[in-house]
Amino acid sequence: MKPVKVGICGLGTVGGGTFNVLKRNAEEIARRAGRGIEVAQIATRQPNPKCDTTGTPVTDDVFDVINNPEIDIVVELIGGYTLARELVLRAIDNGKHVVTANKALIAVHGNELFAKAREKGVIVAFEASVAGGIPVIKAIREGLAGNRINWVAGIINGTGNFILTEMREKGRAFADVLKEAQALGYAEADPTFDVEGIDAAHKLTILASIAFGIPLQFDKAYTEGIGQLTTADVNYAEALGYRIKHLGVARRTEAGIELRVHPTLIPADRLIANVNGVMNAVMVNGDAVGSTLYYGAGAGMEPTASAVVADLVDVARALTTDPHNRVPHLAFQPDSLSDHPILPIAACESAYYLRIQAKDHPGVLAQVATILSERGINIESIMQKEVEEHDGLVPVILVTHRVVEQRIDDAIAALEALDDVADKVVRIRVEQLN
Amino acid sequence: MKPVKVGICGLGTVGGGTFNVLKRNAEEIARRAGRGIEVAQIATRQPNPKCDTTGTPVTDDVFDVINNPEIDIVVELIGGYTLARELVLRAIDNGKHVVTANKALIAVHGNELFAKAREKGVIVAFEASVAGGIPVIKAIREGLAGNRINWVAGIINGTGNFILTEMREKGRAFADVLKEAQALGYAEADPTFDVEGIDAAHKLTILASIAFGIPLQFDKAYTEGIGQLTTADVNYAEALGYRIKHLGVARRTEAGIELRVHPTLIPADRLIANVNGVMNAVMVNGDAVGSTLYYGAGAGMEPTASAVVADLVDVARALTTDPHNRVPHLAFQPDSLSDHPILPIAACESAYYLRIQAKDHPGVLAQVATILSERGINIESIMQKEVEEHDGLVPVILVTHRVVEQRIDDAIAALEALDDVADKVVRIRVEQLN
C-alpha cells in the first residue's frame, strides 16, 4: 500500500518527538502498519534543534498543511484553545483525519469537534492528550469494552506528582519544590494549570467521558490544588499509613457522576501510592475486570510522541474501514451518550482526613466527637499529638468513614465555631482505591 | 446493525464468566459496539451453576457450534492443545472468527492458526490468553506501535506470585504455601504448569512475538521454577533491598532475543516488585515511551471474561473492515516477521545473586573474589553472614554486575570445586527493570 502522508503542525517538544520517532522507527512502524507513515510537511515558526528536517517541506503557516491536498492526517501539536480549534475544524472540513495531544482542546471543544468529524467521516484521535505515553484511552475505550466502569482515578499531572514526591521524601515545603520544578523545566513559569489541578481536570474530563459514556463537561469538574498542603499534613498522613497524591477521581454513582481533582490520602501499600516523581498512573475499576492500573511517563518529548504515533498507525488502518463501524471517539456511540448528571462537590462521597488545631483544654475531643456523630460521620481512626510548644495548640487528626461531602462541610463549620478550635480545619479527601 | 452472533465452546470458569458478562452488560456493550453481541449457542458437557442459560440453545458437541451457519464468532474456551486446535482450525475453515483465552494453544500452534486465518480472511483474537483482564496485548500491539520495544518483563502467573508473596510476608516454606494455594483453588492438583514456569512461558512467548515481530517459538523458551526457592534466600534478598518474583523476561539484544522465565530479584522500590498475591503485572519498555506497566487480575471468571468480551467487540467492529488492513495477529505484518534468533540461556545476560555456603576458614572470600574476577565478573554488593550454628558454614551472599550467563556457569563450577565451599551455589538472576 502507498505510504500515509502526515502533516505536523507545531515542531515543539511533542512535534519534534513525533517527527524523530516517525523517522527513527520508520521501518518498525511500517512492518506493523503494512505501509509507511511519512511526514509530508511541517508547519512551525522556528526550527527544533533536536530535529533534522532535511528533505521535509517546512512552512510557517499551519494552514498550508491543512490545505495540502497530499496530506491524509493532520497532527495538531500547537496547543491552546483558539487557533488549535480553528485548525482542527478546518482540517476536518477538508476531509482530513486529525491526531492531537491537546487535552485542553478536547476537554473544552471535543463535543463540537467530534460531531463535525462524524459528519465528515473522519477521525479525531487523542491518545496523547491523557497521561502521555500510557495507552490508557485505548485501554478504557477498547481493552475494557466489556465492562461497566465503576471508577477511574489517576495521577495525571507529572509536575504535581514531582512536587508531592519531593515534599514527602525530603520534607521540603511546597513553594521550595515548585521553584526547583520550574528550574528543571517540569513546571511552567505560571504553574497554575499544573498545581491548581486544571490540567488534571482536562484529562479527567476526557477519561470520565470515555469511561461512562457521557459528553465532555469540563466546566463541571471540581478542582482543588496542592498549594495549601503542608509538610505537617504529609507527615501525619504517613503516620496514619497514607500517602498524599494529587488525584483525579471520576466515579459513577446512582445519583450521578463524581468528577473531581484534589489532594487525596491513599493507603501507602497501594501501587498507585508508590508512583513517584513525574510519572503518571491511572487506575480503572470495571465490574468484570476489577481494578487495573496503567503506569508510565505522562509527558516528555518521546513518551508523548509514542502515543501520537500509535494514533497515526490506528488512523492509517482505519482509512479503509467503514466510518460507521469504527471505535467511537468517546468510546460510546454518539447517539447512546448518557445524560447522567455531574454531581456538585457537596454531593460527592468520600472519606476525610481532618486536622483540627485545638486548644489544650479538657473536653475538646468530646466536643469534636459529638459534632461528627450528630451529623452521622463515623471516625475510622484518630490521633492526638503532643502540645506543640510555640502556640499551645494540640493537633487532633482523624480519618472518617465515607460520607457525603455536605455533612463534612457542616461539621467543619460547627468545629470552626468552637471556642476551643483555633484556625481553619484542614480537610483532605481519602480514597481506598481497592 | 444486526446483532453479532457468538457461539461459546466451553462453559467452565471463563466461559461462564463470558456468558454472564455479555448478558449483564449487554446494553453497555451495545452502546459501545453500535450493535448487540448475542450468545446464539453454547457447547458444554455440563451446566455451569453460576449461569442462567435459559433461552440460549445448549449442545454438548462443540462442532455443532462450529457448523452453526448463524454464528459469526466462535469463542474457544475448552483449553488444551488437541481438541482446541482442531476446533479452531475447523471454525476458521467455516469462515468464522475466533476468540480464545487459550495461551497454550496460541503459544504452541499460533503460527499455524494465524496462517490459516489469514488465508480465510478471519481473525483469531487472544487478548485473554495473557494476564487475564489486563489489556496488555492491545497495549503492545497497538498502544505502543510507534516504539521499538526493548524488553518485556512480567509477573504472569498468579499462582506463583501468590506463593512468593506468602513466603515473603509470612516466612512460610514453598511446599506449605503450595498446599494452601491448592486448597484455595489457585493452584491445580498438578501444579507443574504454574510453579515450573510453563504457563508463564506460554504467555511470555506470545508477548515476545508481538513485541519484537518474531514467530511464536515456545520450544525455545527457558523455564526455571520456584520450587527450589528457600525462605533464607527470600530474606537475604530482602536484606539487600530486593524482592524475589517469578518473572518472564523477553529482551531484544544485538545477538538475539532472550526468552526466559525464572525467579528474579527486583529492587524493592520498583512498582512491579510490589505486585502481590494473585495479581499480575507486565512491564513494557519501548525506545520512545520508556518503561510502562500494566497491572490487574491475571485470572478468574470475570477478569478473563473482560478480555474475551473486549476481543468480541473488536472483532464485531472488524467484520466490515478490509481484511488486509487489520491489526496483524502478531502485531507485525506476516511477511515482515524477523528471524532474529532466540538465544540459549547461556548466552543471555543478567546480574546474579549468588549464595555460597563457605566453610569458616580465612581466605575463602579471597578465593571467591578471585574466581569471579578471573572471569570478568564484577561484584555489585556482598554480604557475609554470621556462622550458622548447626553446620559451621558461613553464607556468602553477593550480587554481581550484568554479565553473560556462561561466565556465571563457569564461575559456579569453579566455586563448587573449592574445598571450602560446601553444597551447591544458589544462583538467582537479578533484573533492575528501570
CATH number at residue B423: 3.30.70.260
Reading the block at residue B315, the C-alpha cell is 472483532
Q: Could you tell me the residue range of the domain that residue B15 belongs to?
A: 4-133+301-336
The answer to whether residue B341 sits within a structural domain is: no
As given in the structure block, the three cell numbers for residue A81 are 484553545
Q: Which residue of B has its CA nearest to A320?
A: B322
Calculate ∠ Cα B127-B132-B135, nearest 5°. 50
Q: Residue A220: inside a domain, yes or no?
A: yes
Q: Tell me which H or E stretch contains B416.
A: helix B405-416
Mean pLDDT of B332-341: 96
Q: How far apart are CA A151 and CA A153, in angstroms?
A: 7
CB A305 to CB B146 under 8 A? Answer: yes
Note whether A286 and A419 are same-domain residues. no
pLDDT of residue A384: 84
Tell me whether residue A341 is in a domain: no
Place of cell 501468590: B162
Mean pLDDT for chain B overall: 96
Q: Which residues of B touch A138 (CB under 8 A)?
A: 135, 138-139, 142-143
Conformation bin of residue A399: beta by default, left when phi > 0, alpha when psi is -120 to 50: beta
Q: How far B345 CA sits from the closest chain A CA (Å)?
A: 26
Q: Are residues B265 and B378 in the same domain?
A: no
Specify whether B148 is located in the same domain as B273.
yes
Annotation marks residue B359 as catalytic: no
State the total domains in chain A.
3
Q: Closest to A306 (Cβ–Cβ): which among B1, B31, B288? A: B288
Lowest mean pLDDT among A322-331, B165-174, B338-347: A322-331
Q: Which residue has the cell 507529572?
A: A158
d(CA B270, CA B242): 9
Residues of B within 8 A of A39 (CB-CB) are none
- Which of B28, B266, B269 to probe by mutation at the A interface, max A CB count within 10 Å? B28
Cell reading at B323: 481484511
Cell 496514619 locates to A240
pLDDT in tens, A130-143: 999 999 999 999 99
Rounded Cα gap, residues A301 and B122, in angstroms: 38
Q: Which of the pair, A230 or A320, is modelled with greater confidence?
A: A230
For the purposes of burial, counting CB atoms within 10 Å of the CB of A171, is it exposed (0-12), middle (13-18) or buried (19 or more)? exposed
For A115, A139, A353, A355, A363, the CA distances from A382, given in Å and listed in that order, are 51, 39, 10, 10, 15
Contact A325 B321 (CB under 8 A): yes
For residues B417-426, give the mean pLDDT: 94
Could you tell me the CATH number of the domain that includes residue A186?
3.30.360.10
Q: Cell triple for residue B396?
A: 556468602
Measured between CA atoms, how close is A315 to chain B, in angstroms?
11
Residue B337: per-residue pLDDT: 96
Indicate if the pLDDT at residue A4 is higher than 90: yes
Across-strand partners of B281?
B155, B295
Q: What is the pLDDT of residue B1?
A: 84
Residues of A annotated catalytic, as ranges: 203
Q: What local confidence, expressed as pLDDT, does residue B320 receive? A: 82
Establish if B342 belongs to a structural domain. no
d(CA B68, CA B88): 14
**DSSP annotation string for A135-163:** -HHHIIIIITTTS-EEEEEEE--HHHHHH
Contacts of residue B217, defined as CB under 8 A and 6 or more positions apart, other chains included, come to B205, B209, B259, B342
- Our CA-based measurement puts residue B322 at a distance from the nearest CA of chain A, in whole angstroms, of 6
The answer on B421 and B285 residing in a single domain is no
B247 and B325 share a domain? no
Answer yes or no: do B240 and B313 share one domain: no
* CA triple A84-A88-A93, angle to 5 deg: 150
Amino acid at B58: V
- Asked if residue A316 is part of any domain, the answer here is yes
- B322 or A266, greater pLDDT: A266
Chain B residue closest in CA terms to A149 = B28
How sure is the predictor about B387, in pLDDT bands with cuts at 50, 70 and 90? low
Burial A286-304 (b: 16+ CB within 10 A, else e): bbbbbbbbbbbbbbbbbbb
Instruction: State residue A360's pLDDT score.
Output: 85
How far apart (Å, rounded) are the C-alpha atoms in residues B155 and B137? Answer: 15
Is residue A261 assigned to a domain?
A: yes
Alpha-carbon Rg for chain B in angstroms: 24
Q: Are residues B54 and B171 in the same domain?
A: no
Positive/negative CA dihedral, B93, B98, B100, B104: positive
- Model confidence at B360, pLDDT cuts 50, 70, 90, reads confident
Express each pLDDT in B160-211 by its tens digit.
999 999 999 999 999 999 999 899 888 888 899 999 999 999 999 999 999 9
Q: How many CB atoms lie within 10 A of CB B176?
A: 14
Q: What is the DSSP string of A334-375?
A: GGG---PPBPPGGG-EEEEEEEEEEES-TTHHHHHHHHHHHT
CATH of residue B329: 3.40.50.720
Tell me what ipTM this predicted complex has: 0.97
Report d(CA A37, CA A35) in Å as an integer: 7
Same domain, B198 and B212: yes
| Sheet with A4-9, side-by-side order of all strands | A58-59, A37-43, A4-9, A73-76, A97-100, A124-125
Give the separation between CA A40 and CA A43, rounded to whole angstroms. 10
Q: Is A291–B292 a contact, with Cβ atoms under 8 angstroms apart?
A: no
Report pLDDT digits (tens) over B49-69: 999 999 999 999 999 999 999
What is the per-residue pLDDT for A89?
98
Joined grid coordinates for residue A177: 519544590
Say yes or no: B90 and B200 in one domain. Answer: no
Is B343 inside any structural domain? no
Q: How far apart are CA B23 and CA A44, in angstroms?
A: 52
What is the 8-class DSSP label of residue A325?
Answer: G
**Mean pLDDT, rounded, for A416-424:** 94
B16 assigned to a ligand binding site: yes
Cα of B338 to nearest chain A Cα, Å: 10
What's the pLDDT score for residue A17?
Answer: 98
In whole angstroms, give the CA distance from residue A208 to residue A215: 9
Q: Do A330 and A350 fall into the same domain?
A: no
Which of A148, A296, A320 is opposite residue B25, by nearest beta carbon?
A148
What's the mean per-residue pLDDT of chain A? 96
Per-residue pLDDT at B397 exceeds 70: yes
Q: What single-letter amino acid sits at A139?
A: A
In chain B, the percentage of residues whose pLDDT exceeds 70 is 99
Residue B310 within any structural domain of the chain: yes
Q: Verify that A219 and A165 share a domain, yes or no.
A: yes
Q: Which of B143, B317, B336 sits opposite A135 (nearest CB)?
A: B143
Residue A389 pLDDT > 80, yes or no? no
Contacts of residue A214, Cβ cutoff 8 Å, sequence gap at least 6: A208, A257, A337, A338, A339, A340, A342
- Comparing CB atoms, the residue among A271, A287, A324 nearest residue B274 is A271
CB neighbourhood size of B399 (10 A): 20
Give me the mean pLDDT over the A390-417 stretch.
Answer: 94
User: Which ranges of B121-157 does DSSP label H, i.e. alpha helix?
Assistant: 136-138
Burial class (CB in 10 A: 0-12, 13-18, 19+), B333: middle
pLDDT in tens, A332-342: 999 999 999 99
Determine the 3-state secondary structure of B431 from DSSP.
coil
Residue type, A231: T
Residues A254 and B130: their CA atoms lie apart, in Å, by 34
Is A310 close to B135, i.e. CB distance below 8 A? Answer: no
pLDDT (average), residues A181-209: 92
pLDDT value at position A397?
Answer: 96
Reduced to 3 states, what is the DSSP secondary structure of residue A425? strand
Percent with pLDDT over 90 in chain B: 91
Residue A253 has which C-alpha cell? Answer: 454513582
Provide DSSP, A177-201.
HHHHHHHHTSS-SS-HHHHTTHHHH
Three-state DSSP at B269 gives: coil
Can you tell me the distance from the alpha carbon of A251 to that of A235, in angstroms, rounded to the nearest whole number?
28
**Under DSSP, is residue A82 helix (H, G, I), strand (E, B) or coil?**
helix
Rounded-to-integer distance, Cα A168 and Cα A166, Å = 5
Distance between CA atoms of residues A94 and B406, nearest Å: 61
Q: Which residues in B lie closer than 8 A to residue A123 (C-beta atoms)? A: none
Which whole number is the average pLDDT over A254-272? Answer: 98
Catalytic residue among B179, B203, B245, B385, which? B203
Among the residue ranges A13-27, A172-186, B90-104, the one predicted with the least confidence is: A172-186
Do A169 and A225 have their domain in common?
yes
Question: With 90 as the cut, is the pLDDT of residue B376 above it?
Answer: yes
Q: How many whole angstroms separate alpha carbon A212 and alpha carbon A75? A: 27
